[in-house]
Structure 1
Amino acid sequence: MSWVPIIVLAAAVFLVAAFLLKVNRSGWTLLGATLLFGLTGYALQGSPGQPAAPGIAAERQQVDGELLISARREYFDTSQLPSRWITTGDAFARRGDFAQAAGFYRNATQENAGDLEAWLALGIALVEHGDGQLTPAALYAFEKAQEIDEENAGPRYFLGLSWLRMGEAGRALELWREALRAAPEDAEWRESLALRVMQLEAMSGQGTPQPDAAD
């Protein structure tokens, strides 16, 4: 399939969200991350010319560590720094060393089992270390993060991104809709999450957004 229509669509969605729908600049990074992951997932799932070699597919799924960290931080109070273990792990994640990063994030969960961001960071790192695959360990980390705070959309958002990269757009959409329903009305990221739900609905051809997702 041609890349041109997909890239044009992604650019159009970003411009509409940023300038016509007036998404705050703080949400641009998260929106950009969604477009990146969306393009990755659909390219891998829908390209008839994709080589069958696993090494090539894995290489195409590599993402920027800085972008992942910025997207994760959108779901937390930016005025409050994460633990020293997370900060150190982020340094390795920025260099693409997700195996080392996961080790430091795991230390953070052992030091404080109630640290939502540590569990979320661990899940993300384990997915990247697994070349984009949602391993049982990564799934467990996302579930632990969600248990700590049902209202925080971060765990469902990144778990949905993992499913999307594996070609499971339906599962991703279900998780994002759940995250939107559980989100506090005054959450700074709620508006951008609603836009991503609408975008994924349009890209996956699932029709009119549900009332919950459109609010």
Structure 2
Amino acid sequence: MSGWIIAFGIGALAFLLLLFVGRMPRSAREIVAAALLLGLAGYAWQGHPGLPGAPRKLADGGAVQFDEKLAEQRRGLAERYGPAGQWLIMSDSYGRRGLTKEAANILLSGLKQTPDDPNLWLGLGNALVAHADGVVSPSADYAYRQALRLDPAGPAPRYFYGLALARAGQLQAARDLWLPLARSAPAGSQVKAELEANIGRIDAMLAAGGPAQ
């Protein structure tokens, strides 16, 4: 409800400023009013006036944060252009606002058009993990496996599926995905160095029997 109040308040204030400060002529008043109403209609269609003006909260009270670094890594390893890139850009825009459900739904819409795109399946897996606050749900696991099936030789599905598993505490499964990827990565590359460092941490944690970090 507060969204509607703010929107109408801004519209009314803009009209009054144009009327009294800008000395808007009488002949232009109807046109300006129609333009403002059109803007409000667009807000009602595209916006979320019924939602509170804050990002979604976690159970511990912290706000859901969009992982910008993760998105950039995905763009570097997987898509940048083409239909998949467009869907993923739209999904990321929702994710930045904490609208994780909408972010996943955008990718589902993309998959209806191109169901065999591994980048969309990979993005869906990441979006579902974000929606579940880091839990690799059965639907997220399915999305990652679809990406692996469609792009078995690509580095992106194995990298991000392993990352999601590691963050969820499934260390051995993450190591099994990452070790062949690290061995095949170009020598001296940043990805190879990162994977080897992560595998080293996993080995240390598995040896100590400690929790995932």
Q: What is the rounded CA distance, in whole Å, between the counterparts of 1:188 and 1:167 in structure 2?
A: 24
Change (3 A) 1:112 1:99: same
1:163 aligned residue (160, 165, 171): 165
Instruction: Show structure 1 runs of 5+ residues with no match.
Output: 1-53, 207-215
Change (3 A) 1:148 1:191: farther
Question: What is residue 90 of structure 2 aligned with on the other side?
Answer: 88
Change (3 A) 1:138 1:61: farther
Question: What is residue 135 of structure 2 aligned with on the other side?
Answer: 133
Contact 2:88 2:107 in 1 (8 A): yes
Question: What is residue 55 of structure 1 aligned with on the other side?
Answer: 59
Q: What is the rounded CA distance, in whole Å, between the counterparts of 1:93 and 1:67 in structure 2?
A: 13
2:202 aligned residue (191, 200, 203): 200
Contact 1:119 1:144 in 2 (8 A): yes
SS at match of 1:114: coil
Greater mean alpha carbon deviation, residues 191-200 or residues 97-106: 191-200
For residues 23-48 of structure 1, give each alpha carbon's deviation from its aligned partner in whole angstroms, at most 9, with x where no partner exists: xxxxxxxxxxxxxxxxxxxxxxxxxx
Equivalence map 1:25-40=2 (5 Å): none
Equivalence map 1:84-163=2 (5 Å): 84-163=86-165
Q: What is the rounded CA distance, in whole Å, between the counterparts of 2:172 and 2:202 in structure 1?
A: 9
With structure 2 as the length reference, what TM-score do the two structures score?
0.59
Change (3 A) 1:55 1:188: closer
Structure with the larger RCO, 1 or 2 (CA within 8 Å, 6+ apart) = 1
SS at match of 1:110: helix
Question: What is residue 27 of structure 1 aligned with on the other side?
Answer: none
Q: What is the rounded CA distance, in whole Å, between the counterparts of 1:137 and 1:202 in structure 2?
A: 30
Shift of 1:185: 4.6
Q: CA RMSD in A?
A: 2.8
Q: What is the rounded CA distance, in whole Å, between the counterparts of 1:193 and 1:161 in structure 2?
A: 10
Contact 2:79 2:85 in 1 (8 A): no
Shift of 1:85: 1.9
Shift of 1:188: 7.2
Shift of 1:202: 3.7
- Among all aligned residue pairs of Structure 1 and Structure 2, give the percentage whose two residues are the same amino acid: 29
Instruction: Show structure 2 runs of 5+ residues with no match.
Output: 1-57, 209-213
Shift of 1:139: 0.7
Change (3 A) 1:66 1:170: same
Change (3 A) 1:73 1:83: closer
Q: What is the rounded CA distance, in whole Å, between the counterparts of 2:131 and 2:145 in structure 1?
A: 18
Q: What is the rounded CA distance, in whole Å, between the counterparts of 1:191 and 1:61 in structure 2?
A: 31
Q: What is the rounded CA distance, in whole Å, between the counterparts of 1:61 and 1:148 in structure 2?
A: 34
Q: Match for 2:74: what amino acid?
A: R
Q: What is the rounded CA distance, in whole Å, between the counterparts of 1:195 and 1:117 in structure 2?
A: 25
For residues 108-167 of structure 1, give each alpha carbon's deviation from its aligned partner in whole angstroms, at most 9, with x where no partner exists: 222112211111010011111112111111111000101111122222222222222332
